Chain A
Amino acid sequence: MASRLTYRTDVWIDWCPGCGDYGIVAAMQKAFSELSLDPASTVVVSGIGCSSKTPHYIYANGVHTIHGRGIAYATGIKLANPELTVVVNAGDGDLLGIGVAHFAALGRRNLDITIILHDNQVYGLTKGQASPTLRKGEKTKSLPAPNIQDPVNPIALALASGYTFIARGYALWIDHLKELIKAAIKHRGTALIDVLQPCVTYNDIYTADYYKERLYKLEEDPRWDPIVSSNTIDEVEDKMSKALSKALEWEPRIPVGVFYVNPHVDTLEDRIAKRNPLFTVKPPARQPIARNNGEPLIGLEEFKKLFSDYIIKVVK
């Protein structure tokens, strides 16, 4: 059915020739390979849209869900079994439009999963409507009139929501993107990679040529240090402010690379384990719920002890 080494499946990829999604899948496959991820312990979750077909093209568990809800599925998967590596792929419309409530809520939790945002400013599969990242006044190919809504800034939104690893990549810089994906997966906490990608069919503004002229790598500046090291309030504020001002850059130059990393925030898994250490010792998915004969683990004796507050002994 597929090859483990390349993380490829034999499903024919039905994206438009030249689509940025190819670069993202290639970068993921390379990253998975270099991290030696076990396909059976890795779950690629997606929502709906062109980019959300990604799981079918990667040899790892794939969960292709409903529009906007990939993060919700990923949350349940990761909490049921925190030993799994969970990556969510979805488009800008999916994550920042219909699913933005989940995108914001995820930051509050710092669940240890990675979000790869396919950012091409249009809804491709429904034929080119404006997505939440298209700028006001812009008129891509199939819009009847210029866009009248302002864009959401994914990096700024992630910062405000509490994401602890925030980066931007470019779909056609596969090796650069691969490194970002590896770092995001290795990061303990919620990671976002905003991946700029041309939509060759519907976006005639943000083309490969457009990006080629404007993109630059943050790490080219030797003074750029996005990683919170001491975790003081001052340092966090300073690093967040710098990340925010980089997030606001667009014309004439657009930064890619790592914007912000704070490895010191406890993950949701840590917070749960603090309340119940068993969670990390034995993930819920591996906990027995029955005895060998099928009787529930909580038998009458355990029931009486557990719920003693609800039991009244009758006094004759």
Chain B
Amino acid sequence: MQREALVVVGGAQGSGIETSAIILASALARQGYGVLSSREYYSNIVGRHSYIHLKVSATEIPRSLSYPVNVVAGLDAESVFAHFDDLAEGGFLVYDTGVSKARLAQIASMEPETRAAVSVKLKSLGAGDTVESLVSTLESMFKVEPVGLSFNSILDVLAHKTGMSKSEVQRFRNSIIVGAIAGLMDIDQGALSYSVDRRFGKRPKLAEVNKALIFGVMDDVKGSYGTPLKLENPKLGLEELLLVSGNDMVAMGKIVGGLRYQAYYPITPATDESTFHETFESLKVDGESLGSIIVMQTEDEIAAVNSAIGAALAGVRASTSTSGPGFSLMVEGLGWAGMNEVPIVITYYQRGGPSTGMPTRGSQSDLLFTLFASHGEFPRVVVTSGDHLEAFYDSIWAFNVAEKYQVPVIHLIDKFLANITVTTPLPSLSRVRIERGQTILEVNSKSSAWKRFDKSDTISPRPVLGSGAVTWYTGDEHNEWGHITEDPRNRLEMYEKRWRKMELMDSEIPEEERAVLHGDGDFLLIGWGSVKGPALDALRRLESRGYRGALLQLRVFSPFPSRFVSRVLSGFDPERVIDVENNIMGQAALSVAMNTGFKVRKYILKWTGRPIYEMELASGIMEILEGGKSRVVLSYGK
């Protein structure tokens, strides 16, 4: 029995592999395993190749993904051609024998560049260009165990049993995959049954058919192949857990944090968060509404951010969620919020740029953009999250900091985190507090003019619109009353008053919250965001080989924790400090240099739009530590 397993499930976009993944993940979670499941897909509705990459562990909540995998399960021939070399020696290839004769050249949905690369691989193995030829090559060369199932025969039986037509049963194809994987892993039937009900609870008929199919395939596969991937009993010790994506986690955080206005314009990979808010807009608990979240789908991202700023002026916790192209449109509004000291939160899910780039793939290439976006100088907060729980707490923290310091906060995450579904413990809410700083919801002296930008202190009391005070705001430089003035003395003082908030935040927000040093050793990785998981796992892998290193996880880039970071860096040989990022510039390293004067010399970078995998990061580190390289470019992944 093994401690963990890695699985790839591939199929055409729209064919239901996501459902397969949810059913498998929630069944495994039900049994108490830790699961992490990532989704790779094209910007396409139907037909392009997509896949789920899933890791299960009996001992911990997985933090990263890796290759090779124990199972590749393909709904179609393309998945077999695309992922056969992701499979470990002795791994299992689940495929449809109905596509045995399919040729690589016939797969129209495969991009020509990919097809050419696969063709080269097939030739180098001496395999023919059909699925069956490839399967027998894998079997003989790599001891791969082919689990060939005739999907059509299975579905014919299903049609016969249920009275459904041949076309109706087609939509159950992905349950064959679930059954096969569940058989190989010996997933508990009760857990699977729970999982199917959870997915199809409102459609019991559909649930029953799925169960019958899954259990049938499961039994057949067990009968023929045994349960070679049965995992050890789970030792996580959790009684209940969340099964959530990064989008879900941010949404939950904002809701707990008191979100009342969310504006958005549809964009991948941000929109799922807003859809979540709309689902929970009435905040109904035991039939009673605890509040109302206004979710506005606006005409563009410009309206999204600016209406959120308006809502914040009126005293609600307001935010917008977007990705790169949307944020590009928001930057003028960001400046107005900075100038007028308005607390707003912008959740920014990075994807591959520039321009439309790779809209459904991940990246970390917008860090510097968020730090410098909009003209002029004004205080802002840029916070990044390394995993789902961090994303939850950071979403609340973002509102608190925004209101306490009256600044725009950019919560920078990425597609990887957004689309990774993971089992995670329930957040602890006992230490969560709502801090609204100098926000005044009601003033005593009604209808009196108020010095909104009172210079007597760095943070001026902020009576909201509707509080009873009369206030003025303008994007022009203004006096204490919020009226326009270009007087140089006022400019000197007001500009500095705003900027002092940066210094205030830097002195009040503990540096240990803004950067975290994980572990110790004689080399140091610098990383941020979703690099955290693979970095920690790569360090653990290397430790077992006698290399001990630490990770400096940068959490808040503005205000940057300069003293803490300098202190950490001074403890390492500069030649053994390695920056790890999903971009080409080494943007976090540039930020470190700007704030501490430390010039990073070693880089491990990836910009293919696919996540950094643990094994490639571990070998990248070795290439630097032992191979004398100063820059390693990673590229694994389909």
Contacts and interface: CB of A to CB of B under 8 A. Distances in A.
B371 interface: no
A60 B336 CA distance: 20
A306 B255 contact: yes
Interface string B301-321: 011001111111111111000
B473 interface: yes
A102 interface: yes
Nearest to B433: A294
Nearest to B27: A312
A83 B308 CA distance: 18
Q: Which of B289, B306, B314 has the most CB of A within 10 A?
A: B314
A284 B281 contact: no
Residue among B31, B303, B336 facing the most chain A CB atoms (10 A cut-off): B303
Interface residues of B, number: 94
A74 interface: yes
Contacts of A148: none
A40 B467 contact: yes
A300 interface: yes
B241 A312 contact: yes
Interface string A289-316: 1100011111110111111001111111
A83 B481 CA distance: 24
A306 B427 CA distance: 14
Given A61-B472, A76-B318, A278 B244 contact: no
Contacts of A61: 465, 470-472
B242 A305 contact: no
Given A63-B473, A278-B291, A311 B426 contact: yes
Contact of A284 (B292, B332, B476, B484): B292
Given A64-B474, A297-B258, A307-B252, A76 B314 contact: yes
A191 interface: no
A76 B306 contact: yes
Contacts of B468: 40
Given A80-B316, A105-B298, A73 B31 contact: no
A81 B434 CA distance: 21
Interface in B164-185: none
17 contacts: A1-B481, A45-B310, A61-B470, A61-B471, A63-B313, A72-B302, A79-B296, A80-B260, A80-B261, A80-B294, A81-B315, A105-B298, A276-B289, A303-B252, A305-B286, A307-B280, A315-B190
Interface of B: 26, 29-32, 190-191, 194, 198, 234, 238-244, 248, 252, 255-258, 260-261, 263, 280-286, 289-294, 296, 298-300, 302-303, 306-318, 332-333, 336, 396, 423, 426-430, 432-436, 441, 446-447, 449, 464-476, 481-484
Interface of A: 1-2, 4, 9, 11, 38-41, 43, 45, 48, 53, 55-56, 59-66, 69, 71-81, 83-84, 101-102, 104-105, 272, 275-279, 284-290, 294-300, 302-307, 310-316
Given A53-B484, A312-B29, A315-B191, 9 more contacts: A61-B465, A63-B313, A64-B472, A71-B303, A79-B307, A289-B260, A303-B427, A305-B286, A306-B280
